[in-house]
Chains A and B, each alone.
Chain A
Amino acid sequence: MTDLQAYAAAAHSWLASVAPRYGRAARKGLNEADDLALGRAYLKARYAAGYGGINWPVALGGQGLSHIEKVAFETEEMKFGFPTHYFGISLGMPVPVMMRFCEDKAFVRERVIKALSGEEIWCQLFSEPAAGSDLAGLRLRAEPDGNGWKLNGQKLWTSYAHLSDYGVIVARTDPTVAKHKGLTYYWVDMHAPGVEVRQVRLAGGDSHVNEVFFDDVRLDDSQRLSPVGGGFGVAMATLMIERYVATDSSGFGPHLDMFTSLAQTVQVNGRPAIRDGRVRSALARNYAMRNALDAITARAMLMMQAGMEPGPEGSLNKLVSVRSRQKLSELAIDLLGTDGVPFDEHASVREDWSTSWINAPTGRIAGGADEMLLNTIAERILGLPQDHRPDKGVPFNAIPA
């Protein structure tokens, strides 16, 4: 057994030991408040057990290991259905950005430990009504105010802002220069006067995203995390920080085994659906594709262990897996017939085909829309030209609306 296998095995046995208290079964029937409380308790236990901030520096409250152990732990952790999603963004981007760009290390260490033990949650305030894929088109203003700054404007699609204590934010400090050059990056206190969070209900019925309004919200200059006008660079660094995350070839929907079982259980024209050529073809094609995604992930892990940089093909997972989950969920609902009519909006996206289906579009838009991912592959990997960009080199306030 390699060291890594031993690490994963130890993690697995710890996870299995706490699964009855915090896992899938313990969460059944809980409302959001109780589920969140369970999640906070799980994070506290996880941190106490030495599995919080696995690849973060010891000096800042982490465990000082590498991203390899982190991915190995996450891969094991995913199997148990713990209530960790409330903390995914928080620990994925804002807190690592604070570790890297905030100069007050004592403050950072305190925040890191509270975030790792589930006491505090951070959000990432990037997108706006008019700036999604085109992040640099954001409009929320930061203006000098005494020895600090004053924020005015609106953010949108901010995940878990309604639960957050802090956030990181990109704001426009200079509208007279090209759009990427007039942005600055800060952290904000979500409980500060002038911050108002309103939940946005999504198509599937849940409300984990928000619109956040800033009305003369006062920031100290020590809350600035980038040079004035250098915010876009930090935002890009944020998106690159968590390259090494556990991936899931089922597109964060139901596992393919669930589809196989369904096809063995239900009938088409009086025969088991698994005997129907259309169903067999869909199952086989999905298996072949997911098998390949899993092999890409496994190879990336081996490369990391060998001290190599994994190839860019890792970026395919989200693009390919969520699309396939969407279509497979449609087929599953078809197969269920009248059994597919009743709908429980609180069912798990991993265990219910209707919930998986209705939430799948979010997966194809959030965190890089399919079209943006294709652009990235075309431009960064294949060297194809950028799109026609009428906004290039034009001062932000002169871009035609």
Chain B
Amino acid sequence: MSLLYDEGQLAIATESRRVLEARVESAELLRLLEHQSAFHIGYWDTAREQGWCGIAIPEAHGGLGLGLIELGIVAHQIGRTLAGAPFLTGSFGVARALLDLGDDALKSAWLPRLASGEAIGAVAFAEGQAVLPAQTALALSQGKLTGVKPAVSGGAHAAVALVLASDSGVPVLALAALDGVARTPLVTFDNTRCAADLTFASTPAHELARGDAALAAAMQVLAAQAVVTAHEQTGGAEALMERARDYALTRRAFGQPIGAFQSVKHRIAELYGLVELARAGAVHAASRDRQHDFLRAAAAARIQATESYDTAARDTVQVHGGIGVTWEGGLHLHMRRARTLANEQGNMLFWEDVLVDTLEKAAQ
């Protein structure tokens, strides 16, 4: 798989950008911020109509049979427009685990529904400060889950969850339908993520992997999701850098556009650099999917993308001055999303450790 997009891939980028820009307005996103666990219905309908839910699911299971590169291309545009729901990444994580580890019955039960977007998937590994806990509070006993998974992105609406649980101290990767699971929606600073605590009470679950294999498989799912998120973060950073540039060209102070002051223009030039580094890292990681160095490439992409989006959010608000901190200006939507994406699928500290672990192994 190439670092260079082909014509078909470029067409996906153009078309996804066009529909998203036509259908997602920041006024609606601002309104949704004040509603707990509400998502942008127009966005999600678009995603379903366009087939994005099934991009990386094989055609035999109702998907488009494309891969991480194409999903990344769409995620980039989603990041640009701040699309208002986290479901694509969650469903992708669940589908990936099913494809790798599920039996035929499980695959045919879920993959077509995930591919069409009829069912939403959520990935629930983290508990508190542990991103991939080897010991979880969520317990699995005789095929049933009991306990709480906190702050699951998309958890308020998901039909199925991929979870890490412990069975008498042994880590298990399991899939559970969420009928009958109690959901406690959370107020967050980015409410369209629809985060909820999921309380399992003797909920039936299908075991997908056990022991070290469960942790390794969970890491692979997380890494693949992190690459999707890195594209989304890159798109967000790119949109911010462009807004900073556009504002610096129009806003005047001391008799000239503020973009003529080096303190401002150099700040924006640095953002350009961060956007291009994030893009290159993300595209590289997608091109390494299923290769021996995928985890390292994914960790590197994720670290660069998080740094880029956070910095772009910080600096673009600064370039805008007062208007940058108003509710109506909407830049805080990106601030919120940048921090949310930095935390979902493992924070900077987690990925720095993952990356250095792989570098240590390579040096031995």
Contacts and interface: CB of A to CB of B under 8 A. Distances in A.
A134 to B, nearest CB: 15
A384 interface: yes
B362 to A, nearest CB: 8
Interface stretch (A39-47, A171-179, A295-303): A295-303
Interface string B296-310: 010111011001000
A301 B299 CA distance: 24
A287 B284 CA distance: 13
A387 B260 contact: yes
A287 B3 contact: no
Contacts of A103: none
A291 B294 CA distance: 13
A270 interface: no
Chain B, interface residues (CB within 8 Å), range? 35 or more
B277 A292 contact: yes
A313 B273 CA distance: 7
Given A298-B3, A374-B265, A387-B262, A289 B249 contact: no
Contact of A382 (B272, B300, B307, B356): B272
Interface stretch (B139-147, B320-328, B347-355): B347-355
A280 B353 contact: yes
A31 interface: no
B245 interface: yes
Contact of B268 (A296, A320, A378): A378
A283 B260 contact: no
B360 interface: yes
Contacts of A29: none
A284 B351 contact: yes
Contacts of A313: 276, 280
A285 B256 contact: no
A293 to B, nearest CB: 7
A281 B262 contact: no
Interface in A51-93: none
A4 interface: no
A386 interface: yes
A260 B356 CA distance: 9
Interface string B21-41: 000000000000000000000
Contact of B249 (A288, A298, A320, A383): A383
B356 A274 contact: yes
A398 interface: no
- Nearest 4 interchain pairs by C-beta: A284-B352, A295-B284, A295-B280, A292-B277
Given A295-B281, A371-B262, A382-B245, 7 more contacts: A283-B355, A295-B280, A306-B4, A316-B276, A374-B262, A375-B262, A377-B272
